[in-house]
A and B are shown apart, each in its own frame.
Chain A
Amino acid sequence: MSRTDWEVVIGLEVHTQLNTQSKIFSGASIAFGAEPNAQACAVDIALPGVLPVLNKGAVERAIRFGLAVGATIAPKSIFARKNYFYPDLPKGYQISQYELPVVVGGQIHLLVPDGKGGAYEKVVNLTRAHLEEDAGKSLHEDFHGMTGIDLNRAGTPLLEIVSEPEMRSSAEAVAYAKALHALVRWIDICDGNMQEGSFRCDANVSVRPRGQAEFGTRREIKNLNSFRFLQQAIDFEVQWQIDLIEDGGKVQQATVLFDPDSGETRAMRSKEDAHDYRYFPDPDLLPLVIDSAWIERVKGELPELPAALSGRFQGEYGLSAYDATTLTASREVAQFYLDTVAAVGSANAKTCANWVMGDLAARLNKAELDITASPVSATQLAGLVARIADNTISNAIAKKVFEALWNKEGDSADAIIDAQGLKQVTDTGAIEAIIDEVLAANPKSVEEFRAGKEKAFNALVGQCMKASKGKANPAQVNELLKKKLG
């Protein structure tokens, strides 16, 4: 069988760290980077007698997420204990949600690049999202054969978002993860910092012969903390499973780790030695009851969601689905775009989109800057677009002005156009004078044109633009040149 005879099935479990002030069951801070164990209080280190108290802020963020993906917010959900022994799990159990999670269902809409420069739309259904606490960290280095335990992370609030196994390629998995990443930042429940572990993916991967109804046996790749690793890990895993099956082997259910250095996945533990977590409702916590008033209040505080905004961009501004999705990839980009359009008027919405996604995005990318740190402000970009729209400058000159704005050569497009004399020449007499000079200096081209060489005309236009230092209105040059040669 060839690679294309196999269908890949992927489901993702994403752990998003919620951006609360304090931990999910204690008052300790969750700020990243403190000295080991400086942010572990009596509850976090599980001293005898301590009890958990649920952080309402974490619940509120779960509600926000549920509303943003069109899910059901459970009126009553239950915290359960997941029991296992590990040194960085101080209580000997993790408080999580098992049978009754806080968020049920929901959908994520995404655009998947098709690898040919285009993209297709896809909807991924969510199974659930549940609240839980993070464990601490075991530090195996620097302790000479011993293990250090840092409990700063213990009790950090997580929302684990579980998708249905509906992705069919690593590209879809990455597109889903990116869309989810953008969404949790958009609704401000997670800082999305993947290096610091605020957004971690587990991928359940299986393969099956195309057309087969039942799923193959899956292996779960744990703890992927970049989109690139997600893609690499899935690609390797898929090929590994296909090779195994084609060699007559059978995939065993297992948990695997991805090694970024080798680019390979390797089994951590098999199903046989999987834990029996002995889940049961945590008797220290009451059922989590969320009434409709609470949901309504959270709903009222939600920002316009990317899907709605994208629809508005397509409907009101006539943008393509792709452009609208790109501009709503993050709240910051969307805001920048909205500010630009607001300053120059929605008649120029398409031009604004081109600039935000084009020159600005490229320049920011090159400079490794976030759009919030853009040297060119939305107002400045709007000023530039206005001058293109009213024919003061051509697109080519606009690129120069943009560079000048970027380099802080002036406060506004107008100031730069004035100071550098970039105003487009639209005076017919002046353009005719330039054309006459160019025709006189290039008799050969004129001759070639008259002999039927269309290319020679373009060369003459180029010469005229050059002679005007790019300032002549290209449409007028075309028109007048045709007349003169006619």
Chain B
Amino acid sequence: MIDSSLKDIAAALRDRKVSAVELATESLARIDAGNPKINAFVTTDRDGALAAARAADERLAAGQGGPLTGIPLAHKDVFCTEGVLTTCGSKMLANFVSPYDAHVVSLLKAAGAVMVGKTNMDEFAMGSSNENSHFGPTRNPWNAGKVPGGSSGGSAAAVAARLVPIATGTDTGGSIRQPAALCGITGIKPTYGTVSRYGMIAYASSLDQGGAFARSAEDCAVLLSAMAGHDPRDSTSLERDSEDFGRECTPADAQPLAGLRIGLPKEFFAEGMEGDVRAAVDAALAEYRKLGATTVEVSLPNARLAIPAYYVIAPAEASSNLSRFDGVRYGHRAAEYGDLNDMYCKSRAQGFGGEVKRRILVGTYVLSHGYYDAYYIKAQKLRRLIANDFAAAFEQCDVIAGPVSPTVAFGIGEKSDDPVQMYLSDIYTIAVNLAGLPALSHPAGFGTGNLPVGLQLIGNYFDEARLLGTAHRFQQTTDWHLRVPAGF
């Protein structure tokens, strides 16, 4: 049943052909069987899941369920969950149990979704391969020797391996789209401010945005609609009414995308993309044309500056955001230390992994007296230029399409000693975060080694429904998103 679409699962639940307890049990059994192969979960919450499932069944029996009532789901371990471990992939929080739920968690609880566990991630969401987790790397369900992408690699792998039908994630520089692409599923990062950041452990506040993973765009829409909405506890949360992001995921006629102008940034197609990725992306674009869309070349001249700008702004914010992990009130504290300063140094040296330390150092440096203007202020200016590029491009097109990642999933250990190579794997995704735009990744075929390739669709602000509708049309005539990795 977990392999079915959300719509079908919800109908079966409503018609009492299956119970939420049966679904939760099925999901937990799949985790038991599948997780040892991919290490997608840090924590499973069997008792909590079954209790939530029983409550969901009562609601469903009373005819009160919604589209997510009784649906098993997993949360990225960056979201605080009351009473359940929230580690953020770090030794620093290896024993941290939050006394409160993140806004997203409480919304999904209220919707009746059944959380079965918390998924693995790069420590504090810093990484593109899930290798930076204190709890060991997550493996790609398509090939256990490959990375699932990051930082939301655990959620992407869990959905790809059909352990859960949906999962939450966060995307600061591509952390939903890139693992979705590498694992062959659909993932969306909405417009900045759509999903409350309250209770989502901050990496880079001005870039972090929660989002959804599912096999299909239609299912992503259901999850995202339940996660979104104004939250007065997050000052950057948009004051917009809730909306049905699936409203354009409707049955289609022969030319469902007639009139849609797809912009292809020439910079994305110029160099850097591997041949197998290029072939899959081109084939997907041909499919879009078949569906009635036209393609037009656009330009994002400053997109090449996205990585340097990002690697100033994100570490700057991170260096400050992560200061609270000082060993004083919660989290890891060194067993032995001299004075106060020594306690800070030892606790943080022991509690944080290498990549987190690297970004704290970079961030501290770029904010330092005498360097602030040259780095931080300049990066903010670049950010503005990048956003302007997108604004200009959207005068010529309705959505922008391109690759998500220059390569298919790479090998575990292949790039972990070379941070710059690792950073370059986000070259097509980062500009979107700097501009605050919505974007999704959907399966577009397979490349070398039978590994999935994703296509990225970038929308203008608040165009989530259009992005999801567009991807949905594609998924109605293709079956890439229905392929299941062997052994799952």
Contacts and interface: CB of A to CB of B under 8 A. Distances in A.
- Interface size, B (range): 35 or more
A280 B206 contact: no
B206 A283 contact: yes
Contacts of A91: 323-324
B317 interface: yes
Given A92-B320, A283-B317, A284-B235, A48 B369 contact: no
B483 interface: no
B45 interface: no
A93 interface: yes
A4 to B, nearest CB: 40
B235 A54 contact: yes
Interface stretch (A79-87, A248-256, A394-402): A79-87
A57 interface: no
A402 to B, nearest CB: 57
A47 to B, nearest CB: 7
B329 A46 contact: yes
B329 A283 contact: no
Nearest to B345: A85
B340 interface: yes
B233 A87 contact: no
Nearest to A86: B340
Given A45-B329, A53-B235, A285-B235, A83 B367 contact: yes
A91 B100 CA distance: 18
Given A54-B235, A280-B367, A283-B206, A49 B320 contact: no
A362 interface: no
Contacts, number: 97
A194 B328 CA distance: 30
Nearest to A149: B328
Contacts of A54: 235
Interface in A268-292: 276, 278-280, 283-286
A339 to B, nearest CB: 44
A49 B201 contact: yes
Nearest to B367: A278
Contacts of B368: 276, 278
Contacts of A87: 326, 328, 340
Nearest to B330: A47
A286 B324 contact: no
Contacts of A50: 198-199
Contacts of B340: 87, 147
B210 to A, nearest CB: 11
A155 interface: no
B19 to A, nearest CB: 33
B235 A276 contact: no
Nearest to A25: B235
Nearest to A45: B329
Most interface-central of A45, A48, A49 (chain B CB within 10 A): A48
B330 A53 contact: no
Q: Is the interface of A mostly helix, strand, loop or mixed?
A: loop
B233 A53 contact: yes
A147 B202 CA distance: 28
A48 B88 contact: yes
Contact of B86 (A48, A85, A279, A286): A48
Contact of A48 (B93, B204, B328): B93
A280 B368 CA distance: 10
Given A92-B326, A278-B367, A280-B372, A51 B320 contact: no
B200 A49 contact: yes
A245 interface: no
Interface in B254-313: none
B12 to A, nearest CB: 35
B212 to A, nearest CB: 19
Contacts of A45: 329
Nearest to A280: B367
Contact of A51 (B100, B206, B235): B235
Interface string B197-219: 11111101110000000000000
B202 A49 contact: yes
B323 A92 contact: yes
Contacts of A279: 367, 372
B60 interface: no
B102 interface: yes
Nearest to B198: A51
A253 to B, nearest CB: 15
A485 to B, nearest CB: 88
Nearest to A87: B328
B98 interface: yes
B44 interface: no
B49 interface: no
Interface string B335-371: 0000010001000000000000000000010011100
B96 interface: yes
Nearest to B197: A51
Contacts of A90: 324, 328-329
Contacts of B325: 48
A51 B234 contact: yes
Given A83-B323, A85-B344, A47 B99 contact: yes
Given A48-B325, A49-B199, 6 more contacts: A51-B197, A52-B235, A54-B235, A85-B326, A278-B368, A286-B236
Interface of A: 42, 45-54, 81, 83, 85, 87, 90-93, 147, 149, 276, 278-280, 283-286
Interface of B: 79-80, 86, 88, 93, 96, 98-100, 102, 197-202, 204-206, 232-236, 316-317, 319-320, 322-326, 328-330, 340, 344, 364, 367-369, 372, 376
Q: Which 5 A-B pairs have the closest CB atoms?
A: A92-B323, A278-B367, A283-B206, A283-B205, A49-B199
24 contacts: A42-B100, A48-B80, A48-B88, A48-B98, A49-B80, A49-B197, A49-B199, A51-B197, A51-B198, A51-B234, A53-B235, A81-B320, A87-B340, A90-B328, A92-B320, A92-B326, A276-B368, A276-B369, A278-B320, A278-B364, A280-B320, A280-B367, A283-B236, A283-B317
